[in-house]
Amino acid sequence: MLILGNPNNPTGIYKDLEEFFKLNQNIEIVLDEAFIDFVENPKDYEKFDNVLLIRTFTKFFGIPGIRVGYVKTKKYQEIFKKYRMSWAIGGMGYTFLNTLLKNIETVNSFKETTISFLKEQKERFKEFIYTKSDTNYFLVDVSDIDNFLNFCHSRKIHVRDARNFGLNLVRIGLKDKKSNEKLFNTLRKWRG
């Protein structure tokens, strides 16, 4: 079994895996697409019987405590139905999903607006971006990570130390315009 994250975390890179899946239909693949809603034109890999898709609403809608997501699979559908937790989701999760489904056109419009906003913002931050990202976060080489983390924390900005991924970089998430402006100015001050 192969487990993949697409878009990748921490790079934010999204890859078209269609050819890879065609060539590897003898391998069971779990594809974690936690950040897929940030991708402009994602592929749908549901047609591959050997691919089990895992998705969440947590990342795009910023609801980490609710833990609402889903699995898409043809091959293992009955197994998931049989062994899933009987309580499935809590009241908050149910309310969220019900509201989401009732407002699906607004949600789709919000996704388009968000993707457009993120493209705009990443263009603004391009001098800092270490590698292309298709999500709401990107990597930055700040040289001295510990001092940079302290520098950010003193300005009430939190960035992710990517050393636990084996990278001597930090991962920065984009937010709203005001927060992004503060982040942009902090990066500029850091680079001096």
pLDDT digits (tens, 9 = 90+) for 70-93: 888 888 888 887 887 766 677 888
Which one of 87, 102, 117 terminates a domain? 102
- CA-based end-to-end distance of the chain: 47
| pLDDT at residue 118, as a whole number | 97
The answer to whether residues 33 and 119 belong to one domain is no
Q: What percent of the chain has pLDDT over 70?
A: 98
Q: Which of 65, 85, 102 represents a domain boundary (last residue)?
A: 102
Is the same domain home to 92 and 143?
A: no
- Could you tell me if 17 and 78 lie in one domain? yes
Same domain? 33 vs 63: yes
- Give tens-digit pLDDT for 4-48: 999 999 999 999 999 999 999 999 999 999 999 999 999 999 899
